[in-house]
């Protein structure tokens, strides 16, 4: 399997399962509708969705599944510029495809759900409070924690085994899944922790395009934050990692 298709399939599975649990919680007449432990369900399922994506894509692409991860590894010279473009495109398309399948999977429930904000929430993120710079900080720091810890939990800064492509897959599926889970539990309450530009942008585009009953606007005034902030957080994580390695 090529790196493009590995990133596509890994991100596809990530969104199909990850947005699937949100749909299971927020849509009408699902088995988990109104569950009082919904945030635990959502954060746990997203962590396990990352685990699934890494298991599939890891041996072939390194399993970045996230443009912020790809950017950090490009800054680290582990990825060429052409590879960066290939990975990001595959991630964006995989996210769009995964959330589209999730829509058709849950379509009877979408059709009877009248809460447009809940419907949009099963596609993309939105903040608890519309505070631009606080929202930006929340998304940036969530991605910072993800990327910074990835650099340190992988032996020899992701260079232990040259036969494994550089990425989350060289860290290991279980540690990365646990990392995403704890980020969601600790830092996800402000914006819903996209921490992944493809995870938010691809589904947001599909929310705009799909003929969903009772849908509201796709929240484009907010959409730049879950795209730009994770990239900024990833770049900051790489810079601080370099600073600590070279000057402290």
Looking at residue 155, its pLDDT comes to: 53
35-68: per-residue pLDDT in tens? Answer: 778 999 999 999 999 999 999 998 899 899 999 9
166-198: per-residue pLDDT in tens? Answer: 777 767 778 888 999 999 999 999 999 999 999
CATH number at residue 73: 1.20.1080.10
User: What is the extent of the structural domain holding 236?
Assistant: 3-247
Please, are residues 66 and 18 in contact by the beta-carbon 8 Å criterion? no
Give the number of domains in the chain. 1
DSSP for 211-227 reads --TT-----TTTTTHHH
120-168: per-residue pLDDT in tens? Answer: 999 999 999 999 999 999 999 999 999 999 888 765 545 555 666 777 7
Looking at residue 163, its pLDDT comes to: 64
Please, are residues 237 and 147 in contact by the beta-carbon 8 Å criterion? yes
Cα dihedral value 18, 19, 21, 23, nearest 10:
180
Q: What is the CA radius of gyration of the chain?
A: 17
């Amino acid at each position: 399997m090529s790196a493009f298709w590995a990133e596509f399939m890994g991100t596809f599975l990530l969104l199909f399962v990850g947005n699937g649990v949100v749909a299971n919680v927020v849509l009408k007449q699902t088995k988990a509708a109104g569950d009082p432990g919904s945030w635990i369900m959502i954060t746990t399922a997203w962590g396990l969705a990352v685990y699934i994506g890494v298991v599939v894509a890891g041996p072939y692409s390194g399993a970045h599944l996230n443009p912020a991860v790809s950017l950090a590894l490009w800054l680290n010279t582990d990825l060429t510029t052409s590879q960066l473009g290939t990975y990001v495109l595959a991630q964006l398309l995989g996210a769009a495809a995964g959330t589209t399948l999730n829509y058709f999977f849950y379509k009877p429930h979408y059709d009877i759900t009248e809460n447009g904000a809940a419907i949009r929430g099963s596609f993309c993120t939105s903040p608890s409070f519309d505070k631009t710079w606080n929202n930006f900080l929340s998304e940036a720091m969530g991605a910072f924690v993800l990327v910074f810890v990835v650099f340190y939990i992988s032996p020899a800064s992701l260079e232990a085994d040259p036969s494994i492509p550089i990425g989350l897959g060289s860290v290991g599926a279980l540690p990365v899944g646990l990392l995403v889970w704890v980020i969601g539990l600790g830092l996800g309450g402000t914006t819903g922790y996209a921490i992944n530009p493809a995870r938010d942008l691809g589904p947001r585009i599909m929310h705009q395009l799909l003929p969903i009953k009772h849908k509201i606007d796709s929240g484009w005034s907010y959409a730049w934050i879950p795209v730009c902030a994770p990239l900024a957080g990833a770049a900051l994580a790489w810079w601080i990692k370099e600073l600590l390695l070279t000057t402290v």
